[in-house]
């Protein structure tokens, strides 16, 4: 397949361009973009392929795509901005800002436990009605009433969908704005990012169609796969409640794009991810615009949860809101790397020791098991070899 690679690439990073082109030959890539910021400078900003399965709409410089759980990293950054302003306190009870949350024995759950996935609220037991996923009050009300699945702080488990509503509600109460609005004002506008949680119709022409997921041989294997296939398991509940998540072609619907579902429905391009994490890799500022202090960046990357994940059923690691590299999802090479991958292969992270911000955004999801998306490996090998 002869794919034209578009964009700019510093000559010193030419191997990244070669690796990106090779991915279209080696893997079932349809359209994608990759970007890297090194020591505050954009060194890679490339895109190729198509926005649609019919291959009639070329991927462009400003193409956006749903990045799934990469969205959690942007939500975490918003929370850290409010922590730095003194509007949120990771050690304070959630109920101090959200009184209804104290129900069902949660009066001592801390803000930091929502961020590091140890709060014990990775799912909602009740079967909510149709449309609940798009109803902020329905989701936050159900979570406020929910009892923890384990003693908060005693263990951790990936809050795949609930993270966005839990942390997003704290952002709303602390800032007076929805998480999407706060992201625009505090992060996207200062850094010039095309990153949206709840995307307006004016951007519809930029959005790539997400294709049906290709499951790799190990994608739903092992303990996770067996648990996911059991509809009564915590793993299954965490990823399938509310039932709107099973709607056909959900991610390509207008309703999904317009809603704010802050764990999974951010729309961005690789450039936005690389610039956002490029700022965090450079002490919290890029091009003279500061989003966090160096001290806040250190707080953001410090490990808080580690060990067997109660939902993913594998070893995982989290800081306050960011995922940290592990055998399950390896990304970056530095000991202080932090960021977030997304279902299907999207990835954004910062490596402060290397001064690197990285973003990758495909529209052909691949469900992979331990080891992460196979398309990451050649791209990251090339980036690090060029630093």
Structural tokens at position 289:
């615009």
Do 131 and 244 touch, CB atoms closer than 8 A?
yes
Q: Nearest CA to 67 among 380, 376, 342, 368?
A: 342
Catalytic residue, chosen from 69, 118, 316, 368, is 69
Non-local CB neighbours of 41 within 8 Å, separated by 6+ positions: none
Report residue 77: phi and psi, to 5°: -60, -40
Taking every pair of C-alpha atoms in the chain, what is the biggest distance, in angstroms?
59
Do 295 and 205 touch, CB atoms closer than 8 A?
no
Catalytic annotation present for 69: yes
Strand-by-strand arrangement of the 266-268 sheet: 65-66, 266-268, 195-197
Exposed, middle or buried, 55 (CB in 10 Å: 0-12/13-18/19+)?
exposed
What length does the chain have? 387
What is the Cα–Cα distance from 213 to 27, expressed in whole angstroms?
Answer: 13
Do 302 and 319 touch, CB atoms closer than 8 A?
yes
* Three-state helix/strand/coil letters over 189-203: HHHCCCEEECCCHHH
∠ Cα 67 179 81 (to 5°): 100
Report residue 134: phi and psi, to 5°: -100, 5
Strand, helix or coil for residue 248: coil
Could you give the C-alpha distances from 375 to 195, 219, 275, 301, in angstroms and in order? Answer: 22, 14, 21, 25
Residues annotated as part of the active site: 69
């Amino acid at each position: 397949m002869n794919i034209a690679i578009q964009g700019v690439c510093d000559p010193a990073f030419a191997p990244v361009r070669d690796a990106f082109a090779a991915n279209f030959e080696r893997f079932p890539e349809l359209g994608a973009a990759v970007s890297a910021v090194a020591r505050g400078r954009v060194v890679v900003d490339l895109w190729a392929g198509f926005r649609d399965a019919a291959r009639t709409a070329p991927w462009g410089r400003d193409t956006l795509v749903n990045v799934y759980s990469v969205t959690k990293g942007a939500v975490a950054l918003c929370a850290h901005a409010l922590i730095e302003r003194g509007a949120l306190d990771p050690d304070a009870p959630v109920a101090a800002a959200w009184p209804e949350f104290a129900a069902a024995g949660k009066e001592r759950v801390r803000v930091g436990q929502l961020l590091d996935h140890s709060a014990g609220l990775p799912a909602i037991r009740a079967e909510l009605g149709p449309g609940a996923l798009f109803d902020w009050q329905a989701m936050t009300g159900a979570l406020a009433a929910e009892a923890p699945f384990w003693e908060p702080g005693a263990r951790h488990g990936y809050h795949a969908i609930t993270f966005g509503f839990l942390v997003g509600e704290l952002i709303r109460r602390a800032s007076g704005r929805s998480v999407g609005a706060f992201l625009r004002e505090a992060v996207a506008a200062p850094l010039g990012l095309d990153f949206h949680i709840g995307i307006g119709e004016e951007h519809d022409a930029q959005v790539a169609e997400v294709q049906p997921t290709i499951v790799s041989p190990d994608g739903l294997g092992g303990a996770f796969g067996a648990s996911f296939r059991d509809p009564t398991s915590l793993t299954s509940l965490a990823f399938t409640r509310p039932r709107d998540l099973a709607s056909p072609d959900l991610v390509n619907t207008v309703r999904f794009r317009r809603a704010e579902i802050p764990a999974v429905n951010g729309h961005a391009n690789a450039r936005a991810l690389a610039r956002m994490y490029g700022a965090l890799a450079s002490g919290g500022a890029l091009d003279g615009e500061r989003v966090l202090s160096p001290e806040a960046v250190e707080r953001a990357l410090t490990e808080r949860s580690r060990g067997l994940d109660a939902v993913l059923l594998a070893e995982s690691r989290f800081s306050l809101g960011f995922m940290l590299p592990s055998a399950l999802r390896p990304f970056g090479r530095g000991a202080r790397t932090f960021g977030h991958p997304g279902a299907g292969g999207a990835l954004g992270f910062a490596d402060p020791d290397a001064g690197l911000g990285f973003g990758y955004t495909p529209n052909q999801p691949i469900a992979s098991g331990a080891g992460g998306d196979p398309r990451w490996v050649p791209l990251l090998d090339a980036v690090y070899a060029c630093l």
